[in-house]
Structure formats: C-alpha cells, structure tokens
Amino acid sequence: MSRARRWSLTLVGIATAAFVVQSMASASAPREYRWELPKGFPKPNVPSNNPMSAAKVAVGRRLFYDVRLSGNGTQSCGSCHRQELAFTDGKAQAIGSTGQAHPRGAQSLINVVYNSTLTWANPSLVTLERQMEVPLFSADPVEMGVTDANKDQVLRRILKDPWYKARFQKAFPGQKQPITWSTIIKSIASFQRSLVSADSRYDRYLTGKERFTAAEKRGMELFMGERAECHHCHGSFIFNDQVTYKGSPNVKPLFHNTGLYNLGGTGAFPEPNRGVFELTGVAKDMGAFKAPSLRNVGVTAPYMHDGSVPTLEAAVEHYAGAGRNITDGPLAGDGRANPYKDPLITQIELTAGDKADLVAFLKTLTDRRVLTDKRFSDPFKR
Ligand code: HEC
Ligand code: HEC
C-alpha cells in the first residue's frame, strides 16, 4: 500500500471514531438551550467551555440569590444587583458584606451577555466567569468576602443542601463531584447570560404596538440626531457602544472621559476612580469609562460610575453643558475643560423643553416586564 493511501485510511478511521464520539456526546448532552431573544437582538456569544443549558441557568439563579455564598452569610449577588432596580442597588456606591464601601456603583446586569467588556473601566475583563472572581474573592474592597480561610466552609454550605445536590448532578452530568467553585461560577454566569430582555415602551413603539407622546418622539429625535449626539456612544441595540455577539466585528472597545472632574485643572479624576488610567497609567486614559447601556436607566439612579449624578435631569444637564464644573470642596475643578475629555462631549444648545424631551425619551427605555419576570426572580422569596 502506498504511503499516501495508508494515510488517507488512517484519516477515515479517525473521522469515524470522531463521529462515534460526537454522536455519543449528543445522546447524553442536555438539549440545546432555547434563547428567547427580543426582535432584532443577535445570537449571543457563549464561551465554548461553558455552553448554556436550562439546568445550569436554574442552578445559577438560586446561587445568585443565595446569601450562604458570602463569607459571613449576609450577602448574595442579588443584594447589590436587585431585579426591581434592573439589577442595580439604588446606591451611589455599593456596600459589601462586611460593610466596606465600594468606590463605584453596581451595574445593571440586563443584557449583560452582549457587553464586550465588564465593569466600569477594565478593557481586559471580558468573560462573566473571570469577572465573578472579583465579587466573590476580592479583598479590597470586600464584596462577598470569600477568603482562603472560609472558602471550604462556604462550599460545604452549598454541598449540604439537597436541592443543589440533585440539580448540580443534572447541570454537570458525568462529574463525580459536580459541586465545585468552578461549576458554581459557570452556573451563575449562565444565569446572567439568560438575563436578556427588551420589552420597553421604546421596543413596543418600534414594533408598532404602542405610540410615543410628542415629547418622547422629539426626545428620540434629539437622542439619535447630530445636535445632542447621544447615539455616538449609546447607539447599539442595548444603547451603549461596545457590544459582542455571534459574528460581531472585532473592534477595540471604547472608553470615554465625559468631563465629570478636572481636579485642580490637571485633568485628573479622584482616586481610585480614574477610569482605564488606573490600569494603564497612560494619560489619555484618565477618566475614561465605559458608556453603560441606557436600557432601564429610568430605574437605575443614581448615575455614572460613582453615582455622583443624582437624576436623569442632572445627567442631561451635564451633557448640555459639556461637562461638570465643581466650584468648591476637595473635588473642585472645571470638568468642561478637562484636557482628556472625549471630543464628542461639546456644548449643546438645548432649551428647557429639549431637556425634558430627552428625559421623557430615556424613560421609555424601561422594560417593566424584566423587573418582575419570574424566570429571573429571587427563588428564596416565596
Ligand atoms: C457589594 C455589592 C456587590 C455584590 C455583592 C456583587 N456585585 Fe456585581 N458589581 C458591583 C459593583 C460596584 C460593580 C461595578 C464594579 C467596578 O466597576 O469595579 C459590579 C459589576 C458587576 C458586573 C459587570 C457588569 C457590566 O455590565 O459590566 C457583573 C457581571 C457583576 N457585577 C456580577 C456579579 C455577580 C455574579 C455577583 C455575585 C457573585 C456580584 N456581582 C456581586 C457590586 C456588587
Ligand atoms: C463620548 C461618548 C458619550 C456621548 C456622546 C454620550 N454619552 Fe452618555 N455616557 C458615556 C459614558 C462614558 C458614561 C459613563 C461615564 C462615567 O460613569 O464616568 C455615560 C453615562 C450616561 C448616563 C448614566 C448611565 C448610568 O447608568 O449611570 C446617562 C443617563 C447618559 N450617559 C445619557 C446620555 C445622553 C442623554 C447623551 C446625549 C446628550 C449622552 N449620554 C451622550 C458616554 C457618552
């Protein structure tokens, strides 16, 4: 037999074996996860080492709301990410399980599966699995407060619960001990990926199911138009400017300085909230933050990374003036003149009526259904 022919026979053998293995796997694997995607939403990206399944989402939902997952048993992910507030907490800055204040505010998790990067200003944090190590294990600031000293104890609390025993077995079939930190993290990530929803008045307006008031319509035109320019940074289907989905173009995620601070006229933001600069130390990254999704922004006050803007009216005022001028106190400085400010943040001529219209439009982005959707609610509350 020629050498070439022997090779091709071997290849057929390998291909056949691979086919057998594959069909065995599909016979035992859970059915493919059924996404319930809003109209116009693309198929999400999911890491190949953590495919979605209904069983994992169910386990993750309970873990997300389980206070036993924090070191001192007082706090769950759901303590800072409350469903009725679009998975934020209503505080300017979050408070961890040991009472320590976080420097930044808790972010909404609705449609989080589409975010290219996670948290307010970290270009390298791109998977929910990796991000979760922060709330679980971080010592500064303490969030859930799981440490080397209490890690095993926390895991035992989950291991002892018969509900988890049965469900983890289903979610991670074929594993001798399916309850581990790795499978806990995978389950919660799957639950977070399932938090997809877009059933706001705006969405109903788009599909012709509801009408906008004249004010909402004018607000939308301002938002999408070249006078207010909001859409440049909040123009995606989730109203931000860095999204990822199946087949999305591979572009570098953007971060922007919107002129909130300018300490002593140097361009500096207060530590440790200097945005991407905290990681890179590069001047142009000073005060650069991610533009958050504006979906549900009507229920996520206070605003910006540090909750320093109390209302939507104040947020619109901030943009109209091309930044914020703080005239006294330790944070004094004219943000409007911040040298690192994004060039798109420029003075906008807006009448009082225009401002009210913009606010009216922003309020149409609230999806009332997702705030009470039973699939995402706290299973410990009966
Ligand atoms: C003490 C309050 C607190 C707890 C508890 C908490 N978080 Fe958060 N979460 C925050 C804050 C604050 C941020 C913003 C962090 C930053 O920018 O540094 C955040 C950001 C996030 C983000 C990024 C969202 C985005 O759009 O970029 C995800 C995802 C997240 N949290 C998931 C979780 C999960 C999962 C848990 C439980 C394991 C959890 N959080 C527990 C306060 C909390
Ligand atoms: C150059 C990009 C850019 C433009 C243009 C822009 N934004 Fe933003 N937006 C951001 C960034 C970045 C943040 C977060 C800033 C921070 O936390 O420091 C933000 C935050 C917000 C928030 C607070 C959201 C929250 O959850 O805290 C609102 C509301 C908002 N923008 C509305 C608007 C409106 C209305 C316009 C048009 C008038 C607009 N934005 C134009 C980049 C932009």
For residue 108, count other CB atoms closer than 10 A to its CB.
21
For residue 95, what are the β-bridge partners? 101
Residue with tokens 């010592």: 139
Both 214 and 309 in one domain: the answer is yes
Distance 321 CA to ligand 2 centre (A): 13
Both 303 and 363 in one domain: the answer is yes
pLDDT of residue 382: 73
Cis peptide before 141 (omega within 30 of 0): yes
Both 215 and 294 in one domain: the answer is yes
Residue 167 structural domain: 54-196
Three-state secondary structure call for residue 222: helix
| 135 to 33, 78, 130, 159, 294: CA distances (angstroms) | 27, 12, 10, 21, 23
Residue 220 makes CB contacts below 8 A (sequence gap 6+) with 202, 212, 361, 364
Both 299 and 249 in one domain: the answer is yes
pLDDT of residue 21: 41
pLDDT of residue 291: 98
Final residue belonging to a domain, choices 176, 196, 216? 196
Distance 165 CA to ligand 1 centre (A): 27
Residue 215 burial (C-beta neighbours within 10 Å; 0-12, 13-18, 19+): middle
Helix 162-171, helix 151-159: angle, nearest 10? 90
Both 94 and 219 in one domain: the answer is no
Both 239 and 182 in one domain: the answer is no
Distance 266 CA to ligand 2 centre (A): 22
Q: Which atom of ligand 1 is nearest to the CA of 290?
A: 27
Both 71 and 175 in one domain: the answer is yes
Whether residue 206 lies inside any domain: the answer is yes
Whether residue 104 lies inside any domain: the answer is yes
pLDDT of residue 301: 98
Both 259 and 171 in one domain: the answer is no
Residue with tokens 């504006």: 294
pLDDT of residue 29: 52
Whether residue 379 lies inside any domain: the answer is no
Tell me the C-alpha distance between 60 and 185, whole Å: 8
DSSP string, 128-167: HHHHHHHHHH-BTTBSS---TTTHHHHHHHHHT-HHHHHH
Final residue belonging to a domain, choices 196, 230, 255? 196
Both 262 and 115 in one domain: the answer is no
Q: Read off the pTM.
A: 0.93
Whether residue 35 lies inside any domain: the answer is no
For residue 82, what are the β-bridge partners? 88
Distance 135 CA to ligand 1 centre (A): 6
Whether residue 33 lies inside any domain: the answer is no
H-state helical runs in the chain:
3-28, 54-64, 77-80, 128-137, 151-159, 162-171, 181-193, 201-206, 214-224, 231-234, 277-280, 312-320, 352-363
Q: Which atom of ligand 1 is nearest to the CA of 143?
A: 1
Cis peptide before 272 (omega within 30 of 0): yes
Both 166 and 277 in one domain: the answer is no
Ordered per-residue pLDDT tens for the chain, 382 residues: 344 444 343 444 444 444 444 444 444 555 679 999 999 999 999 999 999 999 999 999 999 999 999 999 999 999 999 999 999 999 999 999 999 999 999 999 999 999 999 999 999 999 999 999 999 999 999 999 999 999 999 999 999 999 999 999 999 999 999 999 999 999 999 999 999 999 999 999 999 999 999 999 999 999 999 999 999 999 999 999 999 999 999 999 999 999 999 999 999 999 999 999 999 999 999 999 999 999 999 999 999 999 999 999 999 999 999 999 999 999 999 999 999 999 999 999 999 999 999 999 999 999 999 999 999 999 999 7
- Residue 59 corresponds to which tokens in the numbers above? 């386990």
Q: What does the DSSP 8-state code read for residue 292?
A: P
Around ligand 2, the residues with Cβ closer than 6 Å are 228-230, 232-234, 256, 258, 260, 289, 291-292, 294, 297, 300, 303-305, 312, 315-316, 319, 342, 344-345, 358
Final residue belonging to a domain, choices 196, 223, 257? 196
| 167 to 49, 106, 193, 381: CA distances (angstroms) | 19, 29, 19, 19
Are 97 and 71 spatial neighbours (Cβ–Cβ below 8 Å)?
yes
Whether residue 32 lies inside any domain: the answer is no
Both 169 and 206 in one domain: the answer is no
Look up the CATH number of the domain holding residue 296: 1.10.760.10
Whether residue 121 lies inside any domain: the answer is yes
Q: How many domains does the chain fold into?
A: 2
Are 276 and 125 spatial neighbours (Cβ–Cβ below 8 Å)?
no
Whether residue 34 lies inside any domain: the answer is no
Both 154 and 260 in one domain: the answer is no
The closest alpha carbon to 252, from 342, 126, 339, belongs to: 126
| 21 to 16, 174, 353: CA distances (angstroms) | 9, 15, 65
